[in-house]
Chains A and B, each alone.
Chain A
Amino acid sequence: MSSYDSDKVAKLHRELHSHLPPESALRLRALETVLVEKGFLAADAVDKWLDDYSENVGPMNGAKVIARAWTDPKFAERLAKHAAEAFSEIVPNVRKDYPLVAVFNTPEIHNVVVCTLCSCYPVGILGMSPSWYKSTEYRARVVRDPRGVLAELGTDLPDTVEVTVWDSTSDRRYMVVPERPKGTDGWTEEDLAGLVTRNAMIGTMRDLSPKQEVG
């Protein structure tokens, strides 16, 4: 059972960190080998899990949903009210009770998401977060200097746009819905989805210019 013994686990960390080989890949191999040999994990479980994950989960889920929200105002309303239910209309394997919140950018408001205490992110829908999102630099800085951090990531916000930083500390997970770019009238949902980047769904990118990456 879990010991809930804080000092015990701190001591275990020190023992393991000082005695394991320093290479991450070797440490991972030791973890996987021991858990499989013990019978805690099945031998082929990791490969199966990863196949399933890469098939069902990723930024494309968010991109499809955002493209629908851009073309269907009623859907956008449902997305704003109950994000996971709206997601499940487009991506059937998304659980309707996934605690997801969609926050919408407007001409006046820009949203950006962080988890300062660990690295919470809607991994069960959008897949793994970018490595910079999990960095100590991003976690420390974006709540204090969001405009400076966004500028480093290539987004200069005018003073007329107000920034809201969302620090995700509970079970709720946040996704930013960017504004539909100008010059995309008449585009198909598929082409629109091709404009949506992972960074835009975190809020470190604001303008999705059609020139950049048409699918």
Chain B
Amino acid sequence: MDTVHDLGGRQGFRPIPNVAEDDSALFSDEWKARTWAIAMMSMKKLTTDRTGWTLDWYRHVLERLPPDAYLGLDYFEKWILAMMVTSVDEGVAGVQEFVDGRASSRTFEYEAPRPAVEVSPTGARFKAGDKIVARRDVATMHTRLAGYVRGRPGVVDSVNGPQPLPDEKAVGTIRREQTYVVRFRMSDLWPEAGDSADSLRIDMWDSYLEPA
């Protein structure tokens, strides 16, 4: 889905905020630190308990925030909502319990735990130096093929080993595909780049690419 999270190259944004932040501070507020800790521990538990939860499914949960909330909320505010939604989706708690701020019962039960399913990997089609074009259309629920490179020509910079394809991992299927770093010239991405020698390198899965 092309939701509002796919921000690369969007114009009209303000100057970068909080640039004077204390370089040594990991978290600017206690609630942010606790949110992060809860998220990390919850993710580990859901993985250990084999509920089928995957990081790509979680990313999609974040992406389904209402667009105005996605753009308007702080990073950790988004994570609080996404962790609550995840807890409800997994059967750990109910919406009303979070709204009340307390649990109505002291136990929970996952509905029919089911681990992510591993399927056979797909082969690599490209090598370093190959010219490619990024796929133009994406029909999957979740993808890591950024909108701003779609349909653009690039060159395979390096071949970096297989990783589960996010589009399938987001729905509980592990299919390993070769990944690459692909290099795009700024002038092939942005009309105002002119003859700039600057470039962009981005991680891509095999099925995101077509031979040029």
- Chain A interface (Cβ < 8 Å from any Cβ of B): 1-6, 8-10, 12-17, 19-20, 24-35, 37-41, 45-46, 49-50, 53-54, 57-59, 114, 116-119, 127-128, 130-132, 134-141, 143-144, 146-147, 149, 152-154, 162-172, 197-199
User: Which residues from chain B contact A59 at a C-beta distance below 8 Å?
Assistant: 23-24
User: Which residues from chain A contact B170 at a C-beta distance below 8 Å?
Assistant: 4
Q: Of B27, B61, B99, which contacts A128 at CB under 8 A? A: B27
Q: Of A40, A144, A197, which contacts B45 at CB under 8 A? A: A40
Q: A12, B88: Cβ atoms under 8 Å?
A: yes
Query: In the complex, A162→B185 CA distance in Å?
Result: 11
Q: A135, B18: Cβ atoms under 8 Å?
A: yes
Given known contacts A24-B76, A136-B71, A162-B198, A38 and B85 CB-to-CB distance under 8 angstroms: no
Interface size class of chain B, counting residues whose CB lies under 8 Å from the partner chain: 35 or more
Q: Of A19, A28, A46, A168, which contacts B99 at CB under 8 A? A: A19
Q: Within the complex, what minimum Cβ distance (angstroms) separates B9 from chain A?
A: 5
Q: A12, B95: Cβ atoms under 8 Å?
A: yes
Encode contact with A along B54-91: 1 for CB under 8 Å, 0 otherwise. 10010111101110010100111100111111011111
Encode contact with A along B76-116: 1 for CB under 8 Å, 0 otherwise. 11001111110111111101011111110111101111100
- Chain A residue nearest in CB terms to B53: A2
Q: B51, A24: Cβ atoms under 8 Å?
A: no
- Chain B interface (Cβ < 8 Å from any Cβ of A): 1, 5-11, 13-19, 21, 23-24, 26-29, 31, 33-38, 40-42, 45-46, 51-54, 57, 59-62, 64-66, 69, 71, 74-77, 80-85, 87-93, 95, 97-103, 105-108, 110-114, 141, 144-146, 148, 160, 163, 170-172, 179, 189-190, 197-205
Q: Within the complex, what minimum Cβ distance (angstroms) separates A126 from chain B?
A: 9
- Chain A residue nearest in CB terms to B180: A170
Q: A144, B103: Cβ atoms under 8 Å?
A: no
Can you sample 6 A-B contacts with CB below 8 Å? A9-B89, A12-B95, A16-B98, A40-B92, A40-B108, A117-B146
Q: Of B8, B59, B93, which contacts A38 at CB under 8 A? A: B93
Query: In the complex, A4→B140 CA distance in Å?
Result: 12
Q: A117, B5: Cβ atoms under 8 Å?
A: yes
Q: B37, A35: Cβ atoms under 8 Å?
A: no
Q: B34, A35: Cβ atoms under 8 Å?
A: no
Given known contacts A26-B101, A132-B18, A136-B13, A31 and B80 CB-to-CB distance under 8 angstroms: yes
User: Which residues from chain A contact B81 at a C-beta distance below 8 Å?
Assistant: 13, 16-17, 27
Query: In the complex, A9→B89 CA distance in Å?
Result: 7
Q: B101, A33: Cβ atoms under 8 Å?
A: yes
Q: Within the complex, what minimum Cβ distance (angstroms) separates B189 from chain A?
A: 8
Given known contacts A30-B98, A46-B34, A1 and B11 CB-to-CB distance under 8 angstroms: no
Query: In the complex, A119→B108 CA distance in Å?
Result: 31
Query: In the complex, A50→B6 CA distance in Å?
Result: 31
Q: What are the 8 A-B residue pairs with the smallest beta carbon separation, nearest first?
A: A116-B8, A170-B203, A37-B103, A10-B64, A30-B101, A163-B198, A167-B202, A134-B75
Q: Within the complex, what minimum Cβ distance (angstroms) separates B203 from chain A?
A: 4
Q: B92, A137: Cβ atoms under 8 Å?
A: no
Q: A152, B16: Cβ atoms under 8 Å?
A: yes
Q: Of A8, A14, A19, A24, which contacts B89 at CB under 8 A? A: A8
- Chain A residue nearest in CB terms to B98: A30
Q: Within the complex, what minimum Cβ distance (angstroms) separates B80 from chain A?
A: 5
Q: A170, B190: Cβ atoms under 8 Å?
A: no
Q: A35, B93: Cβ atoms under 8 Å?
A: yes
Query: In the complex, A60→B197 CA distance in Å?
Result: 33
Q: A1, B51: Cβ atoms under 8 Å?
A: yes
Query: In the complex, A159→B69 CA distance in Å?
Result: 39
